[in-house]
Amino acid sequence: MFEAKMLQSSVLKKIIESLKDLFADANFDCSSSGITLQDMDSSHVALCYLKLRSDEEGFEDYRCDRNITLGVNLGLMSKILKCAGNDDVVTLRAEDEPNILTFIFDSKNSERVSKYDIKLMEIDSELLGIPDTDYSCVVKMPSHEFQRICSNLSQLGDSVTIDCHKEGVDFKVAGEQGSGAIKLKQTTSVDKEEDQVTVQLNEPVTQSFALKFLCAFTKATSLSDTVNLSLTQDTPVVVEYPIAQHGYLRFYLAPKIEE
Amino acid sequence: QLTQLDLLKYFKE
């Protein structure tokens, strides 16, 4: 038996909304330690990795008697989650050898209980080994700022060059019709921690990435006040949105290089 | 001209 009771259905809604356009079907791997999801987009350019820990406060109850994999069409899951109120408590339930995933939505005042079943899918996807590495540079910034930068620069070109150096981080685009650049300096005088821009730098990095994917990742902006960008030269960037009281959602994006 | 690299190049074991 698997049963996970999440206090805020809005968190699950936001996660699925941020994934469903790039990742059509995905396996939720459930174990006693929590729920993980790893999926790669069809063009092998982007990968998402979700971790929801069972011992965090976001779950009111969590039970997973044996490890199970729930293969779900994310478009369908998005439709089901739209049937939940934002303040509803959502319970996910499945048997040990499941064909069906059940969603139960309890309204805050317990006056309305709704239940939906969806059929599970066999999804043949191999898990990739993502090495734990120390990155040359980790940028922490407000998530809405990163969203704005990606949106602004995507007006002029397909690729952004991210340049991390000791003064801060530069985002540059060069298209056929024009170019743009946004410089962010490290902030030290901002009151709120979530408004700060910090750059942990071991080595400077200059790397280009497809804006189409970065813009898609920023659909997760409402999950978190801050976003962390981890970069190393000639390796995929990690765009991480911490999820309070649950864990995190990470996106990996392969770089573009000059031939 | 930039070329998009494949993620499998990094993560495939």
Tokens coding A117: 């079943």
CB contact under 8 A, A257 and B5: yes
User: Who's near A109: CB < 8 A, 6+ residues apart?
Assistant: none
ipTM comes to: 0.94
For A77-132, the pLDDT digits (tens) are 999 999 999 999 999 999 999 999 999 999 988 899 999 999 999 998 888 888 88
Query: What is chain A's mean pLDDT, rounded?
Result: 95
Minimum distance, in Å, between the CA of residue B6 and any CA atom of chain A? 5
CB contact under 8 A, A129 and B5: no
Contacts of B9 in chain A (CB under 8 A): 254
Q: Name the more confident of A125 and A226.
A: A226
Model confidence at B13, in pLDDT bands (50, 70, 90)? low
Residue of A nearest to B13 (CA): A129
Instruction: Flag whether residue A214 sits within 8 Å of chain B, measured between CB atoms.
Output: no
Distance CA A241, CA A251 (A): 9
Picking from A100, A127, A113, A111, the residue whose alpha carbon sits closest to that of residue A29 is: A127
For an interface test with A, give the residue of B1, B2, B3, B8 to mutate (most A CBs within 10 A): B2
Tokens coding A81: 């989650």
- In whole angstroms, what separates CA A255 from the centre of its chain? 18
